[in-house]
Amino acid sequence: MAKIGFIGLGNMGAPMALNLKKAGHDVSGFDAVEAARKTAAGQGISIAGSNAEAATGADIVILMLPNGEISRAVAAEVVPSMDEGSLLIDCSTIDVASARAVHDLAGKAGILCLDAPVSGGVGGAAAGTLTFMVGGSAEAFEKGSPLFEVMGQKAVHCGDGGAGQSAKICNNMLLGISMIGACEAFSLAEKLGLSQQALFDVVSTSSGSCWSVNAYCPVPGVGPQSPADNGYKPGFAAALMLKDLLLSQQAAGESGASTPLGQHASQLYQAMVDAGNGGTDFSGMIEFLKSGAVKG
């Protein structure tokens, strides 16, 4: 069993840390937000006095933080407290440049490093069914794999440092685009007088088939249970989709890639968030489109 420092005990981090504790690992956590520390402590997670204290003597330190700036700052705090040969895993979803900067910082200190953003949301974090998209050396991936098996159902080694973040933002750009397409299709079907169930039965078994329809249909009462059946309470909030789309557009700009649909998707989710719907599930885009807020 490993000694683990877990930094970032929010909606995702706390259940991930708890699953590691339940698996028998020695977990010490910290979060800059006092309420998060109290909640995690109430769940049985041991709370350290600081980021550096959580990392001291740890075999593996895991970060689950809001953005690249914070990941860089926390990495700068914890790396000096970590032993040479230990492993730093950043599960935050951040920009590729920041992920690579964290790798560089760790590498200079003789510390193994992985960027390992996740897919699966809060439900997946609690159930231990997350998917990890991982960047880093083969040695680091091998060392982190037993923890990925506890916290998730799948870990894909995508390549060197930064590759995990690259895979995450490419995947979520496609997800954002496909969800908008699904919402537009079902909205058009309604206007044409076509049964939503009939459209689902066609699309889910034909060339329009995609995860946004088959597994996460944005229409209530159609297909498997989804946030649409619960008033669009978020499984994955629109504000988080916007964050990932903006990261994709930052990466596209830096790499010279042409992503016009990714750009348009980010603009639509920006409008949805600006209208006060950032806390709605991202599939709630269908209600935003039907509201007439978007012309075209």
- Residue 39 burial class via C-beta count within 10 angstroms: exposed 0-12, middle 13-18, buried 19 and up: middle
pTM of the model: 0.92
Q: Is the pLDDT of residue 21 over 80?
A: yes
pLDDT at 114: 98
The residue from 168, 233, 243, 295 that is catalytic is: 168
Q: Which two tokens stand for residue 116?
A: 């390992």
CATH number for the domain running over 3-160: 3.40.50.720
In the 8-state DSSP scheme, what is residue 3? E
Higher pLDDT, 293 or 222: 222
Q: Is the pLDDT of residue 50 over 90?
A: yes
Q: Which of the following CATH numbers is that of domain 166-291: 1.20.120.1200, 3.40.605.10, 1.10.1040.10, 3.40.1380.10?
A: 1.10.1040.10
For the residues 54-78, what does the mean pLDDT come to?
97
pLDDT at 122: 87
Would you place residue 198 in the very low, low, confident or very high pLDDT band (cuts 50, 70, 90)? very high
Euclidean distance between CA atoms 241 and 283, whole angstroms? 10
Is residue 168 annotated as part of the catalytic site, yes or no?
yes
Q: Where are the domains of the chain?
A: 3-160, 166-291
Cβ atoms of residues 113 and 106 within 8 Å: yes
Per-residue pLDDT of 268-294, as tens digits, reads: 999 999 999 999 999 999 999 999 988
pLDDT at 121: 86
pLDDT at 1: 87
Q: Which residues of 62-97 are buried (b: 16+ CB within 10 A; e: fewer)?
A: bbbbeebebbbebbeebbebbeeebbbbbbbbbbbe
Residue 207: CB atoms within 10 A of its CB come to: 7
Nearby residues of 282 by Cβ (< 8 Å), 6 or more positions away: 176, 179, 234, 236, 237, 238, 240, 241, 269
Would you place residue 296 in the very low, low, confident or very high pLDDT band (cuts 50, 70, 90)? low
Q: Which two tokens stand for residue 4?
A: 């683990």
Would you place residue 295 in the very low, low, confident or very high pLDDT band (cuts 50, 70, 90)? confident
Q: What percent of the chain has pLDDT over 70?
A: 100
Q: Write down the mean pLDDT value for the chain.
A: 96
